[in-house]
Amino acid sequence: MTAMLAAPAFVGGIIDVAQHDDFAESLIEEYGAEFAQNYFRSLEILPLLFDSFAVSRMGETIYPADFGGVYINDYGSITILTVESQSVGILALDGFAASRDDAVITREVNFSYSYLRETMGALDYLIQSKFESHIAAYNAAAWHLDVINNRLLVELLDFSAEMIDLFRTTIFDSPVLYFAESSGRVVIPPYYFADYHFPYDDLYSSAEGGFVEIAPLVQNITISPGEPIYLRRGGATGSAASLGFRAYQGSWSAGTQQTDGFVVAAHMGMGASAPLTHGDRLYVNSSGTFRYIGTVWDYRLQGLDAAFVRRCPTVALNNRAGTHSFSDHILTTPVVGLRVYSGGRVSGVRGGRITNSLSSVTISNPSSARTIVVTHAATADYPSVEGDSGGIAFVPGTAVNSGIVGITIGRSDTRSFISRADEINRVLRIRLP
């Protein structure tokens, strides 16, 4: 059943890459026309694959017992991992691959994707519950569901044989567990700015019931995902970060007022002594004037690192980051190999690939003794620097296979960590338009 990993030819006929905006041009320039043709064909096939899986009453995907995972390979085509020891559903996966000719490669692995996800959940719980009290748990810097290698990978600060053995004997052990040396925790540096650029524009004041006008309206402004945002907490200090994605709380259909807002990284306030909290006010620099854009309404630092901000009525948020547009929906399955872009205050819009679709990471701040553990995250290989935190991560385009992956929350070496939008929306009880 294992297919040879030779480079596939063009698949599925000619794809009209023009429909994919300037994303197609950049893909061709970086990887070549053949890769681009295969890649866009893969984007058409992936939704068909996931639609073939059953869904529980809670809306969760039920993965077949023989399904070991899926990723976009170095040729832009799809590789489906299958578990040969499982007979249930295996003909369906084989048939799916065969019906797509060279568009899909199959490869045999030992463990099912469901088992890897369940084990990852157990690992999340055990490390978090023992993180502050057990040296073996505290020694873990990050851990990932490594789809390509069909395993779980734990990165350790102390990569000695003694610490690996201590982890296996006191925290968790499994045949799917592998270890690697970490280059260090993700670090949030404090960021301060002098407030001599103020006075800022306080046209609206927040109240529990919404926004109360306290001065005449001025011209509306439109802000974009990834652009700089600022927090001020009195005195001459504050924090700067990047804007995430648009979201809503409540629903008109449910008889409650819908609240318009956007998502940012909760840790941005740590540069101004503490993470974001209810009532914090955020600003953008509009033509030299700091304009008030919204008030933090809900937040979660531990486990999520995200906050929901109620938008000021004079502010609109669009669906473009740089020259790239994206669909207003969440990619609940950011497949490894998927090309992803992020907008940031310092780095601007840059692109890379999803390298892990399910990761957990620990984040430290030199100005605080607190270490954050974020689970249900993802990793990508686009670069990030201080100040890019909170910027949107997205797959460009307007088709069903484009959309929002989440927000950038930190970096380690050449990787960026993403707090996933599906988890943010679930925990904060928000939704996309």
- Place 164 in a pLDDT band, splitting at 50, 70 and 90: very high
Q: What is the pLDDT of residue 12?
A: 40
Which strand (E) or helix (H) includes residue 120? helix 113-130
Report the candidate in 345, 385, 344 with the shortest Cα–Cα distance to residue 188.
385
> What does DSSP assign to residue 222?
E
pLDDT tens per residue across span 10-34: 334 444 444 445 677 778 888 888 8
pLDDT at 424 over 70: yes
pLDDT at 341 over 50: yes
Tell which wins on pLDDT, 52 or 402.
52
Average pLDDT over residues 391-409: 83
**27 SS3 class:** helix
Q: State the Cα–Cα distance between residues 107 and 115, nearest whole angstrom.
A: 17
pLDDT tens per residue across span 271-297: 656 788 888 888 887 777 778 888 899
pLDDT at 194 over 90: no
pLDDT tens per residue across span 359-385: 999 988 766 667 889 999 999 999 888
**201 SS3 class:** strand
Q: Is 345 exposed, middle or buried (0-12, 13-18, 19+ CB in 10 A)?
A: buried
Average pLDDT over residues 158-168: 96
Tell which wins on pLDDT, 67 or 322.
67
Average pLDDT over residues 221-234: 84
Which conformational region is residue 160 in: left (phi greater than 0), alpha (psi within -120 to 50 degrees), or beta? beta
Q: State the Cα–Cα distance between residues 190 and 217, nearest whole angstrom.
A: 35
The rounded mean pLDDT for the chain is 80
> How far, CA to CA in Å, does 361 sit from each of 86, 241, 246?
32, 20, 25
Domains and CATH numbers, the chain: 17-110 (no CATH), 114-181 (3.30.300), 200-320 (2.40.10.10)
Least confident of 160-169, 174-183, 198-207, 402-411: 198-207
Counting residues of the chain whose pLDDT is more than 70, the rounded percentage is: 78
Tell which wins on pLDDT, 207 or 410.
410
Tell which wins on pLDDT, 281 or 146.
146
Q: State the Cα–Cα distance between residues 247 and 137, nearest whole angstrom.
A: 35
Q: State the Cα–Cα distance between residues 125 and 106, nearest whole angstrom.
A: 32
Strand partners, 330: 404
pLDDT at 100 over 80: no
Q: What is the pLDDT of residue 258?
A: 58
Q: What is the pLDDT of residue 238?
A: 66
pLDDT at 41 over 70: yes
Tell which wins on pLDDT, 412 or 425.
425
Average pLDDT over residues 255-262: 69
Q: What is the pLDDT of residue 263?
A: 94
- Per-residue tokens: 135: 């040296």
Q: State the Cα–Cα distance between residues 106 and 48, nearest whole angstrom.
A: 16
Q: What is the pLDDT of residue 124?
A: 95
Q: Angle at the Cα of 302 (from 298 to 304), degrees rounded to 5? A: 65
Q: What is the pLDDT of residue 315?
A: 85
pLDDT at 192 over 80: no
Q: State the Cα–Cα distance between residues 326 and 334, nearest whole angstrom.
A: 15
pLDDT at 70 over 70: yes
Please, are residues 238 and 327 in contact by the beta-carbon 8 Å criterion? no
> How far, CA to CA in Å, does 262 sit from each of 94, 227, 241, 244, 431?
42, 13, 14, 7, 10
pTM equals: 0.85
Q: What is the pLDDT of residue 209?
A: 42
pLDDT at 255 over 50: no
Q: What is the pLDDT of residue 150?
A: 96
Q: What is the pLDDT of residue 121?
A: 95
